[in-house]
Amino acid sequence: MTAITDRQKLAYANAQAADGRVNVEIETDEGMTLNMGPQHPATHGTLRIVAKLDGEQVISCEPIMGYMHRGYEKLVEVRTYPQINTLVNRIDWLGSFANEVPFILASEKLMDIEAPPRAQWIRTVLFEMSRLANVSLFLGDMALQLGALTPAFFAFRDREHVLNQIEAATGGRFHPNFDRIGGLKDDLPKGWIADTKKAMQKMRTFCDEIEDLIMGNEIFEARCRGVGVIPGEIAQLYGMTGSNLRASGVDWDLRRDQPVGLAWNEVDWKVWTHPDGDSFARYWVRLQETREATKIIDQLLDGLPAGPVMAKVPRIIKVPAGEAWVSTENPLGEMGYYVVSKGDLGPFRVKIRSASFNNIHIVPWVMRGVYVPDVITILASLYFILGDIDR
Amino acid sequence: MSSADGSGVPPDPAEPDTAEAVEPEPAPPVVEPEPEPEPTDELRIGLLAAVTESLGDAVVGSRIVDGDSLTIRVATPAWAEVAKVARHKLHCGFFSFLSGIDWLPSPFGRYEDSPMDEPRPVSTDIVTGVAGGDTRFQVFARVVDLDRKVGIIFKVDVPDDDLAVDTWIHTYPGANWNERETHEMYGIGFRGHPHLIKLYLPGGFEGYPLRKDFPLLARQVKPWPGIVDVEPMPDEAGSDEAAAPSEEAAT
Amino acid sequence: MTAIVLSYWQQTGIKVGLTLLLIPVGALILGWTFLLKMMSHMQSRLGPMDAGPHGVLQLVADGVKFIQKEDIFPDRADRRVFALAPFVILMSTFLLYLVVPVGPDLVAEDFSTGIFFALAVSSLSVIGILMAGWASANKYSLMGGVRAAGQLIAYELPLVLAVVGVVIQAQSLNLSDIVRAQANGEIFGISFLGNPFVITQIVGFLVFLAAVQAELTQTPFDMPVAESEIVGGYQVEYTGFRFLAFFMGEFGTAFAFAGIAATLFLGGWAVPGVDPDSNVMNVLGPIALFVKVMFVSFLIFWFRFTYPRFREDQLQKFAWTILIPISLVNILVTMVLKVAF
Amino acid sequence: MPKIPGLVKGLGVTFKTMLKPAVTVQYPYEKEEPAPRARGVIALKEDNCTVCMLCARSCPDWCIYIEGHKEKAPPRRPGGKPRTVSALDRFDIDYSLCMYCGICVEVCPFEALFWSPEYEYSEPRLADLLHDKERLGEWMETVPDFEPYEAGSTAKVLKVPR
């Protein structure tokens, strides 16, 4: 026999106990507890769902998170404003530029600075491009969760065009760190607009392909229709935002309803809603929004105003004391920063209101009485980024 | 250092926070409000009036920025009530977030001090922000009325001797995780919350990380590389040949 | 004619050896052509390119890697059952190969009830899957095993019923006879192509394909191994050569089923215009069958790489309310027409 | 026209894709050209560095380590007084900590730090990712010129000191 020391046994027992702690909390006499994650393929990241099952039916479930908690709200307290900028674009890493914008806007609000129009427009363009980079992956990923491999590869293939453009402009594919208090780090390089328009064309082709390949698929509809229905009112009370809220029939888009100075109001676009509130509606709304984003970008690029991209800003940024809240319609939903400054080089406190955290909050409510495969469908359709939950 | 009761169980939220090294002083009586122009935002003035009408004296502070924000601070006992007012009377159906704040100035700064310097004087004066405050901890939350497109930020003081306020989850179920997070990060209790366990941190974690007196270990284990380390000229200022790196050399 | 006369055990030895060899070869061919290459190109990728030209040796390399790996048993596994399960599945695959004729004389065992035998032994794999699911001492495995059992049993019926139409038309259960019936048959007097039953039995063919897809647990019926839900189902605890056995079982069975489908519906080893009993067919037959097998496999894998998967209850509903009634009607129509003509 | 079922449409999409050339780039054999602005690795122009420590101080990850000393340099104009300059002894960037934010490059007031789009410098050992000033200086050759700007821009195109 293999010799196992007492120490090893103890370590094992401890590990088991730590793991089981959560299970015990919701385990009762009957039913089976199924522990999904933190290493489960459907939780793309390290979300953990502890579900109590009756057969394949979920009686109750509890998401456990924190496996990727990085303590952003603590970290920002020891950093200066430019340093935070590079930190926050790691919150939702698929649409990272969009994370920087509300933070910068909140800081600008406190400093009473406004970025020049050209910077605002480029910000909006990059914001929408990060939406494309983020949501296009959802379009493939949800199909992947439902068992169709191919759309995921299509998504990666065509997202590349967008990422390449983001890289060409900002230098970073994933973490642009391009937004600055008072404007942008740099202007666009020559030829970028033409290339971006080509990329937008490719994204539209991608949307058509996805529509043919997966959204029109009868099996896909059978899997998604009527699964995970969230009424609009419940969604609001749980703080659900973004496409999830709009898929529940609530016509609320911060880009239109709470303008923060970016250029959305300058172009012609449409907020898509769907009355059903089920997984299919969420997929549908996101697909429409991807198309809409390409249109927004095209229009913005056509009308890009000339001028500088940076306002006059002191070299050492000290933000006057005060409190400011700015939120924008990020790819995942409402992303907001409540910045409390005391006139220092860094903020005193930053409350980061991330979208996925509140979007996932509804999971215990919506996942009662669904089947195990539906758990996957609902999780995929709610669409979260772990960094956005755990922060 | 932070309070660490060592028992491994999540501390009772109602437990008075006595283990503080720095006993929070009773806050300075009233924070001087900056002279501001009178608000002219009808919508937000109306909302404030509606809250005041429902709660009376419980509204202890407020601030309106025209077209931008409305902050209302309420008395601690009225915290649960204000949620009901917001949801049912003001029709703020959308819950945005709830969190806490610790107004104690950080004793650590940004960890950018040379170990050879004199330690900086650490202020313990508590200066609260918008809409005032009397205590070290505050809880604040934001709700939105999607029809009128207006959000309200509610603030409440958390009494220093009893770190707890009422829960919001019966009015806004979305407050559940937010309250759990605030609880684990600040040690603020939420009366009436049925499941106030840790959200992010492991079960046995001790201390409340977002409190200002909780050190950030990652910045403590390593000296700041920004300390100027330029050797002076050997013949300059008669410094000895051993030339211990001097801090003043480059500054 | 035979110059060499082999004794029974010699013959059996050769047959078993060749058949055993066919399993990995079939699995390799399907795995490389469709899983690695076709899937990659359908997804705008190239797939493995390094091991051999266009990665032809990739699966061999993978196999070698699997064999080297440690044979891990879960702590609370039922060790004997756990160890045996992959081989039960392989056995079912092996038995399938025995009855598929690849030429007029090239068939391992020419049972007169060949197709009946094939369908019977194909259900053996359920036992292996259940064993694997149960013995792994893992909730995901168990769910996968139970799902697989429910699914395989449900799809056994449409599979059998789809074949019945063919059997009625060919008036035989023997696979070689079914091939000859197609080669020598004629449709409304046109005997140029023979009578591949895919034309007259198109409904049966489609039902058979759907059922085969489910039998092979391929998307859209891959809930037993659904990696995004139950992380591989009954295979989740397997490593090394036992996992390899599962893999070979899966693709070997796909190869065999494609062979059976080709035999039943596409004329098997017969080539239009060539006398099915001429000796040249013993060389031409395997090639013809291989081409047909690849065609059927292409369909199987094409569906696999395009569709999302059903939910378990939808799968059962699909089997019981759509496939089975259709195949029953198909049988009825076939019977009526058979009597009429 | 009757609606084509989605199941058939989907098959069409995958089939069409199969006939198109793949987009894969066979990495070690062929390489994609990264954008000139890509933040691949930081190059150091040592002559320009004045050991002002700004980069080390603004680094959010504390991954730049600088040591220097004062020395006499020949006068700028003939006949002038010899100048006292700060010279680098050590300039290390720990790429295992760096998060490629580019703040150091941005704050450098003397044009001593530049981004190069090179990316192939992974190491089997974590410790080898600490690039010293010689290594960082070698990257200087790979720094591309700054690109011209898009129409409508008022920004000035800077020059990379060679």
Q: Is B touching C (3+ C-beta pairs, cut-off 8 A)?
A: no
Task: Report how many domains make up chain C.
Answer: 1
Q: Is the model's pLDDT at A4 over the cut of 70?
A: no
- Confirm or reject contact between C241 and chain D (CB < 8 A): no
Is residue A118, in this structure, part of any structural domain at all?
yes
pLDDT higher at A257 or A291: A291
Confidence of residue A5 (pLDDT cuts 50, 70, 90): low
Is residue C239, in this structure, part of any structural domain at all?
yes
Which residue in D has a C-alpha nearest to residue B220's C-alpha? D62
ipTM above 0.90, yes or no: no
Is residue C33, in this structure, part of any structural domain at all?
no
Alpha carbon of C34: minimum distance to chain D alpha carbons (Å): 12
Interface of A with D in 18-57 (CB under 8 A): none
User: Which range scores top for mean pLDDT: A332-341, B196-205, C188-197?
Assistant: A332-341
Confidence of residue B240 (pLDDT cuts 50, 70, 90): very low
Structural domain harbouring C163: 71-340
Position B128 scores a pLDDT of: 74
What is the mean pLDDT of the segment spanning C88-111? 79
Contacts of D52 in chain B (CB under 8 A): 250
If one counts every other C-beta atom within 10 angstroms of the C-beta of residue A89, the result is 26
Is residue A351, in this structure, part of any structural domain at all?
yes
Confidence of residue B249 (pLDDT cuts 50, 70, 90): very low
What is the mean pLDDT of the segment spanning C136-164? 84
Which residues of D lie closer than 8 Å to C, measured between beta carbons? 7, 10-11, 13-15, 17-18, 20, 22-24, 26
Position C190 scores a pLDDT of: 64
Q: Which of C44, C45, C306 sits opposite D10 (nearest CB)?
A: C306
Position C189 scores a pLDDT of: 64
**How would you write the pLDDT of chain D (162 residues) with one tens digit per residue?**
567 777 788 888 888 888 888 888 888 888 888 888 888 888 888 888 888 888 888 888 888 888 887 777 777 777 777 777 777 788 888 888 888 888 888 888 888 888 888 888 888 888 888 888 888 888 888 888 888 888 777 777 777 777
pLDDT more than 70, % of chain B: 72
Q: Output the domain CATH number for residue A80.
A: 1.10.645.10
- Confirm or reject contact between D84 and chain B (CB < 8 A): yes
Contacts of C307 in chain A (CB under 8 A): 147-148, 217, 219
What is the mean pLDDT of the segment spanning B239-247? 42
Confidence of residue B16 (pLDDT cuts 50, 70, 90): very low
Which of A306, A328, A325, A339 is closest to A260 using CA atoms? A328
- pLDDT 10s digits, A83-110: 888 888 888 888 888 888 888 888 888 8
Position A43 scores a pLDDT of: 67
Q: Is A touching C (3+ C-beta pairs, cut-off 8 A)?
A: yes
Is residue C233, in this structure, part of any structural domain at all?
yes
Position D7 scores a pLDDT of: 79
Point out the least confidently predicted range of C78-82, C249-253, D7-11: D7-11
Contacts of D7 in chain C (CB under 8 A): 307
Which of D150, C31, A323, A78 is closest to B219 using CA atoms? A78
| Torsions phi, psi for B208 (to 5 deg) | -125, 100
- pLDDT 10s digits, A287-341: 998 998 998 998 888 888 888 888 888 878 888 888 888 888 888 888 889 988 8
- pLDDT 10s digits, B137-195: 888 888 888 888 888 888 888 888 888 888 888 888 888 888 888 888 888 888 888 88
Give chain C's end-to-end CA distance (angstroms, integer).
40
Q: 3-state SS string over chain A?
A: CCCCCHHHHHHHHHHHHHHHHHHHHHCCCCCEEEEECCCCHHHCCCCEEEEEEECCEEEEEEEECCCCCCCHHHHHHHCCHHHHHHHHCCCCHHHHHHHHHHHHHHHHHHHCCCCCHHHHHHHHHHHHHHHHHHHHHHHHHHHHHCCCCHHHHHHHHHHHHHHHHHHHHHCCCCCCCCEECCEECCCCECCHHHHHHHHHHHHHHHHHHHHHHHHCCHHHHHHHCCCCCCCHHHHHHCCCCHHHHHHCCCCCCHHHHCCCCCHHHHCCCCCCCCCCCCHHHHHHHHHHHHHHHHHHHHHHHHCCCCECCECCCCCCCCCCCEEEEEEEEECCEEEEEEEEECCCCCCCEEEEECHHHHHHCCHHHHCCCCEHHHHHHHHHHHCCCHHHHHC
Position B4 scores a pLDDT of: 38
Instruction: State the pairing for strand pair A48-54/A57-64.
Output: antiparallel
Is residue C43, in this structure, part of any structural domain at all?
no
d(CA A104, CA A109): 8
Contacts of D23 in chain C (CB under 8 A): 44-45
Query: Domains, chain D, ranges and CATH?
Result: 31-142 (3.30.70.3270)
CA C55 to chain centre: 24
Confidence of residue C126 (pLDDT cuts 50, 70, 90): confident
Q: Which residues of B133-157 are buried (b: 16+ CB within 10 A; e: fewer)?
A: bbbbbbbbbbbbbbeeebbbbbbbb
What is the mean pLDDT of the segment spanning A341-366? 86
d(CA A279, CA A5): 50
HSE toward the beta carbon, residue A182, CA cutoff 13 A = 15
Q: Which of D23, D100, D148 sits opposite A172 (nearest CB)?
A: D100
Contacts of D18 in chain C (CB under 8 A): 38, 41-42
Task: Report how many domains make up chain A.
Answer: 1
Is residue C45, in this structure, part of any structural domain at all?
no
Position B119 scores a pLDDT of: 67
Structural domain harbouring A170: 72-390
Is residue C53, in this structure, part of any structural domain at all?
no
Position A55 scores a pLDDT of: 72
Q: Is the model's pLDDT at B33 over the cut of 60?
A: no
Confidence of residue A12 (pLDDT cuts 50, 70, 90): low
Point out the least confidently predicted range of A77-86, B55-64, C123-132, C202-211: B55-64
Point out the least confidently predicted range of A53-57, A142-146, C210-214, C296-300: A53-57
User: Does the bond joining C220 to the residue before it have cis omega, within 30 degrees of 0?
Assistant: yes
Q: Is the model's pLDDT at C194 over the cut of 70?
A: no
